[in-house]
């Protein structure tokens, strides 16, 4: 059993070395180079799997520990997931302050005419999906309430976009549509539960 634990630790070290060798220098390079981003995510998934395997090997080796099942196992996996998420943020996110690099929204209409598209953001089980959506200026976003309770979409406190407010409640199965003419990053949330948030990135 000890040999398998040592092999698993060596496997994690190899994955982390390979991951560190392909991580780009800055976040812009990471977000624009699709191949590098996919490779980083693939290595990170391997690290997560190996760490999970290692945790189970260690737990299995320790005869003193009782078998963890039910709620204990559930909370252990939650804690492990949070630790791995923190690791991902520290490895892939760097130490950038992204809020200072955000462009200020402008009220200009782009000169290049592109056919506008309609995107749908669904709300179900207290989550907007997708949470972050990238669109072009002139595109329309429909917010569909697939939940049981009515919601109200309002712009975030940092988003100064006039008219980005559903005014009233959106009942189950109904839509609220908004066309984004200005470029920028616009936050929104459910007014009934401000922790339920999302972001529209208009290019």
Q: Let me know: does 7 contact 14? Beta carbons within 8 Å.
A: no
Per-residue model confidence as pLDDT tens digits over 17-32: 887 788 777 777 777 8
Query: Which residues, 6 or more positions from 30, have their beta carbon under 8 angstroms from its beta carbon?
Result: 23, 24, 36, 37, 40, 92
Per-residue model confidence as pLDDT tens digits over 84-143: 777 777 666 655 555 555 566 666 665 566 788 899 999 998 889 898 899 998 899 999
Q: Let me know: does 20 contact 90? Beta carbons within 8 Å.
A: no
Mean pLDDT of 3-16: 82
Q: Where are the domains of the chain?
A: 2-100, 118-202
CATH 2.60.40.420 fits 118-202, yes or no: yes
Per-residue model confidence as pLDDT tens digits over 150-198: 999 888 877 667 777 887 889 999 988 888 888 888 888 888 888 888 9
Per-residue model confidence as pLDDT tens digits over 31-61: 787 787 778 788 878 888 888 777 777 766 6
Question: What confidence score (pLDDT) does residue 143 get?
Answer: 93
- Residue 72 CA to residue 67 CA, distance in Å, equals 9
Question: What confidence score (pLDDT) does residue 96 get?
Answer: 52
- Residue 112 CA to residue 136 CA, distance in Å, equals 11
Q: Would you mind telling me the total number of residues written for the chain in this entry?
A: 203
């Amino acid at each position: 059993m000890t040999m398998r634990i040592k092999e698993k630790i060596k496997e994690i070290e190899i994955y982390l070395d390979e991951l560190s060798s392909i991580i780009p220098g800055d976040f812009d390079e990471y977000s624009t180079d699709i191949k590098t981003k996919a490779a980083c995510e693939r290595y990170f998934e391997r690290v997560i799997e190996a760490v999970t395997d290692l945790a189970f090997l260690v737990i299995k080796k320790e005869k003193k520990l009782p078998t963890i099942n039910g709620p204990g196992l559930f909370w252990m996996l939650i804690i492990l997931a949070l630790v791995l998420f923190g690791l991902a943020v520290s490895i892939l996110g760097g130490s950038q302050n992204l809020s200072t690099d955000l462009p200020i929204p402008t009220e200009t209409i782009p000169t290049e005419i592109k056919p506008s598209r309609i995107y749908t953001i669904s709300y179900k089980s207290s989550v907007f999906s997708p949470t972050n959506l990238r669109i072009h200026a002139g595109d329309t976003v429909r917010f569909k309430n697939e939940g049981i309770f009515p919601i109200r979409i309002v712009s975030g406190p940092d988003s100064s976009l006039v008219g980005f407010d559903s005014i009233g409640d959106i009942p189950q199965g109904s839509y609220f549509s908004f066309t984004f003419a200005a470029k920028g990053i616009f936050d929104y949330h459910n007014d009934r539960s401000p922790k339920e948030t999302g972001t529209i990135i208009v290019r």
